[in-house]
Chains A and B, each alone.
Chain A
Amino acid sequence: MAQVRLEHITKSFKSAPVVDDVNLEVKEGEFLVLLGPSGCGKTTTLRMVAGLEKPTKGDVYIGDSLVTEVEPKDRDIAMVFQSYALYPHMTVHDNLAFPLKMHKYTKEDIEERVTKAAAILEIGDLLKRRPKELSGGQRQRVALGRAIVRDPKVFLMDEPLSNLDAKLRVQTRVELKNLQKRLGTTTVYVTHDQAEAMTLADRVALMRQGAIQQVGSPTEVYAHPANKFVAGFLGSPTMNFIDGVVRRTDAGIVFDCGEFSFMVDPALASAVTGVTSRDVTYGVRAEDVGVGSEPREGSVEVTVFGSELMGSEQFVHGMKEKLKIVARAPMDFQAPIGSKVWMDLASPKAHLFDAKTEKALT
């Protein structure tokens, strides 16, 4: 167990930076998820921690040791790959034993550790099989087994659940979180799946175009996004964004997008501190949008163009001119396509982002 620290890490391929001046500290025993869209540099960052890529600039520390120039095998880490990267010509037993053999453990020690890892992951009856004789879920367990067998300082995981079907993925991520807490090993986990990040992480680091946008607990980044990108990336359906102007008036603060206007919640007042008006993007999540069949003060009339039943609730998609707004409603709310409903966008949980910088103003 050790902390991982990245100091001003930059990685450029053909002079274009893929990771740009990243500073990040993963605490001892912490489960940190690097989250972001494809190509944002999260896997490259992980590979630099592993030693599979050399940073163009900056330093990597594991524990107190500077490991920037240290070979992967000497970093005392274990990695689980997206494809699992099991050794196809070896049995499960030999796959688990391989890292131990490479580190010159004694035969007795190897057998003891393999048996223990197999027991933890419930793969004891698979030890004589080869990877091609295993299901996706079993392969995933073997890959995890190979990571834990040596009890390394740090686990690095590159989208290890993405090849599993949806049901197994949900089940495995709960088990994975449990396993990590039991072992207490510092873990850096890469994913583009925000649900995975929210359920697994102690802290999430959101990346975009090679730069970290925000680091915080799942609740923190969800409830208080640092910018429009973070707000839009987290949550499903995506947060509603409406471009417009906020104005300070005698009655309160008004948001006006041209098509309609409404009084915003006083909680957002800090957005116009020191100014009378400002170009902004108003952001509000579907669960914070009120929806009704009758008009209410400040509500916006929209035409329903679809709804998604999710079980106990539904998402109603409304159109106002060219603007799309999604609201969460109870499953029995009647919203046939083409009908008119009224959506209440004013919420204390709404966000205001600067129109130019896209940074959160509230």
Chain B
Amino acid sequence: MTAHSSTAKSIRKLAASALKHAFLIVMALVSIYPVLWVISIAFTPGESLGIPNLFLGIFPIPSSFTLEHFTSILKLQVVVGSNFPVWVRNSTLITVSSVVGALLLTLPAGYAFSRRKFRGQEASMFSFLLPTMFPGVVTIIPQFLLFSTLGLVNSYFAVIIPYMVGSLSLSIFIMKSAFDSIPREIDEAAMIDGAGELRIFTRMLLPLTLPSIATVALWAFMGSWLDWALAHVMLESNSLWTLPLALYAFLQPNYTYYGSFSALALIMAIPVFVVFVVFQRYLVTGLTAGSVKG
């Protein structure tokens, strides 16, 4: 190989690498830009969108700093009978119930699909997949009609139940795959050692699938904590409002509280951020669990 062709090759390699990095930087900016913008508005005085303060016309750096929006959302009464503590309480109660409910449904179902043989197993697995083939919003109206008939609209159940089952199909797949990755000999060894099926499930299989359980829990958590559409349809009473509904309330037809809106959006993001950071290691393992047997 000549020195000339070697240099040309390394230039080509460098150019390809630069192009790849430039593309990734642009994509990263596109995804992080709205976040930076929201942060900027949340800490900028006034209720403007903050466009005049954009650094170099692109980066949203606040020209002056304030915490007034965070204090104001604690006091602000956008609607009668509802305020920040109520929204936090409702969101927490609904989310915790949905996550616990989703786990109570998903874990035994994943176990059954993995460890039991029953008639119609494949068909039921497929039927779980069916709802995922339609946009989620399509199901809202039939769900509203159903809950309305049951007299459950405008109650916690109207959102908790759909949140519980909303992530079920993917979650069952994740858990089935996680249980499948545990050799059956573990169950059999425990069985011979004297454990019953429930004990094998709780003492052996659940501890060994913690990463997948964390993934499923996070999935359910995100589905309920951040949902606006279903809550907007199901929860009419102000006293039942969740954080996303309150967020929407800051966008009034005649006036928009952009500062408070952004501050509340940041507060809502904190638990999500914390969960991601704490469970990061588990989540990566959980999402890939079962992909490679070993």
How close is B249's CB to chain A, nearest CB, in angstroms? 47
A52 and B208 within 8 A (CB)? no
A73 and B188 within 8 A (CB)? no
B192 and A78 within 8 A (CB)? yes
| Chain B residues in 8 Å Cβ range of A89 | 207-208
19 contacts between A and B (CB under 8 A): A50-B188, A52-B188, A52-B192, A73-B193, A79-B192, A81-B185, A83-B183, A83-B185, A85-B186, A85-B188, A86-B189, A87-B204, A88-B186, A88-B208, A98-B195, A102-B194, A102-B195, A102-B199, A103-B194
CB-nearest residue of chain A to B194: A102
B125 at the interface (CB under 8 A from A): no
Considering the chains assembled together, what is the distance between the CA atoms of A254 and B120 in angstroms?
66
How close is B127's CB to chain A, nearest CB, in angstroms? 26
Assuming the A-B contacts A87-B204, A89-B207, A89-B208, are A73 and B185 also in contact, with contact meaning beta carbons closer than 8 angstroms in the complex?
A: no
B190 at the interface (CB under 8 A from A): yes
A298 at the interface (CB under 8 A from B): no
A87 and B192 within 8 A (CB)? no
B189 and A73 within 8 A (CB)? no
A98 and B193 within 8 A (CB)? yes
B183 and A73 within 8 A (CB)? no
Considering the chains assembled together, what is the distance between the CA atoms of A88 and B204 in angstroms?
9
A351 at the interface (CB under 8 A from B): no
B196 at the interface (CB under 8 A from A): yes
A54 at the interface (CB under 8 A from B): no
B193 and A102 within 8 A (CB)? yes
Considering the chains assembled together, what is the distance between the CA atoms of A11 and B188 in angstroms?
19
Which of A51, A73, A85, A86 makes the CB contact (< 8 A) with B195?
A73
Assuming the A-B contacts A89-B207, A89-B208, are A81 and B193 also in contact, with contact meaning beta carbons closer than 8 angstroms in the complex?
A: no
A87 and B194 within 8 A (CB)? no
CB-nearest residue of chain B to A99: B193
A228 at the interface (CB under 8 A from B): no
B186 and A73 within 8 A (CB)? no
A85 and B191 within 8 A (CB)? no
Interface residues on A, range: 20 to 34
| Chain B residues in 8 Å Cβ range of A81 | 185, 188-189
Considering the chains assembled together, what is the distance between the CA atoms of A83 and B204 in angstroms?
16
> Which are the 9 A-B pairs with shortest beta-carbon distances?
A102-B194, A99-B193, A85-B185, A85-B189, A73-B194, A89-B207, A72-B192, A81-B185, A72-B191
With A87-B189, A87-B190 known, 10 other A-B pairs at CB within 8 A are A50-B188, A52-B188, A72-B192, A78-B193, A81-B185, A87-B204, A88-B186, A99-B193, A99-B194, A103-B194
Which of A73, A82, A88 makes the CB contact (< 8 A) with B192?
A73
Considering the chains assembled together, what is the distance between the CA atoms of A89 and B186 in angstroms?
11
| Chain A residues in 8 Å Cβ range of B191 | 52, 71-73
Considering the chains assembled together, what is the distance between the CA atoms of A60 and B204 in angstroms?
29
CB-nearest residue of chain A to B196: A73
Considering the chains assembled together, what is the distance between the CA atoms of A145 and B98 in angstroms?
44
Q: Which A34-84 residues have C-beta < 8 A from chain B?
A: 50-52, 71-73, 75, 77-79, 81-83
Chain B 192-224 per-residue mask, 1 if CB under 8 angstroms from chain A, else 0 = 111110010000100110000000000000000
| Chain A residues in 8 Å Cβ range of B192 | 50-52, 72-73, 75, 77-79, 99
| Chain A residues in 8 Å Cβ range of B183 | 83, 85
Considering the chains assembled together, what is the distance between the CA atoms of A256 and B194 in angstroms?
61
CB-nearest residue of chain A to B185: A85
| Chain A residues in 8 Å Cβ range of B199 | 102
Considering the chains assembled together, what is the distance between the CA atoms of A85 and B195 in angstroms?
14
Chain A 185-204 per-residue mask, 1 if CB under 8 angstroms from chain B, else 0 = 00000000000000000000
Considering the chains assembled together, what is the distance between the CA atoms of A75 and B188 in angstroms?
13
Considering the chains assembled together, what is the distance between the CA atoms of A73 and B208 in angstroms?
22
Chain A 168-189 per-residue mask, 1 if CB under 8 angstroms from chain B, else 0 = 0000000000000000000000
A93 at the interface (CB under 8 A from B): no
CB-nearest residue of chain B to A86: B189
How close is B204's CB to chain A, nearest CB, in angstroms? 6
How close is A71's CB to chain B, nearest CB, in angstroms? 8
